[in-house]
Amino acid sequence: MKHRFTVTEKESEVQFRHVSQDLLTHNPRQGVNYWGGAEYPTMLVWAGRIYDFLRILEGIVGYHPARMQSYQVGYTSGWNGAEVSAGFPNDAPVNDGKVRLLSLGNSILSGAGWGRCEIEYDDATGSVRWEFSEGTAIGLAARQEGRRDKPACPFVAGFVAGWTNRSLGTKSEFQETECVSKGDARCVFESAEYLRPRAE
């Protein structure tokens, strides 16, 4: 069976208030924000600056190490975000399980301002596809700087991998197969077999 989860423009507005306002708690003594009751601090950074970090890393470290570092940061963010969301009784009730938790990923990303997307999950094959029809915030920021040869969104690829793996209990990698920064009409992330060794 194929599952498809979307966020309408109106729902994106609601999720912005929920994700970027209601779920953030400010500790005035520390001057630090916490999200969803998690014990680790969070920081919402303008996506254009995240693209700048990637560009600087690529110039210093080279493409592959820089992209893997961005992917790993995204992966941890996605995994932790799904972990926190799994604890929200109204958002991910036990009886809805893994697929319900996966379906929340697009609401979180849209609400955080990272891009409105559709998630498609085929439980027969295990394949998962996240499509940002207008592009991710990072891809859109990168496009402003001119066309790239490689996709601009390894952080988001990592995020969707972490979110998906935590939600479904899988071990998948994600590759960005289309990116607005390369001149494509959208950003698309597709699952692939988990090939890298990983200590869990």
At 133-147, the pLDDT tens digits run: 999 999 999 999 999
Higher pLDDT, 46 or 197: 46
Per-residue exposure over 163-192, b if at least 16 CB sit within 10 Å of its own CB, e if not: bbbbbbeeebbbebebbbbbebebbbbbbe
How much is the pTM? 0.88
User: Angle at which helices 47-61 and 154-168 pack, to 10 degrees?
Assistant: 110
- SS3 state at 178: strand
What's residue 92's pLDDT?
A: 44
In the chain, the domains with their CATH numbers are: 2-193 (3.30.1380.20)
Distance CA 135, CA 69 (A): 21
pLDDT digits (tens, 9 = 90+) for 62-94: 888 999 999 999 999 999 999 998 887 664 444
Q: What is the mean pLDDT of the chain?
A: 88
Q: Is the pLDDT of residue 196 over 90?
A: no
Please give the average per-residue pLDDT across 187-198, as a whole number. 78
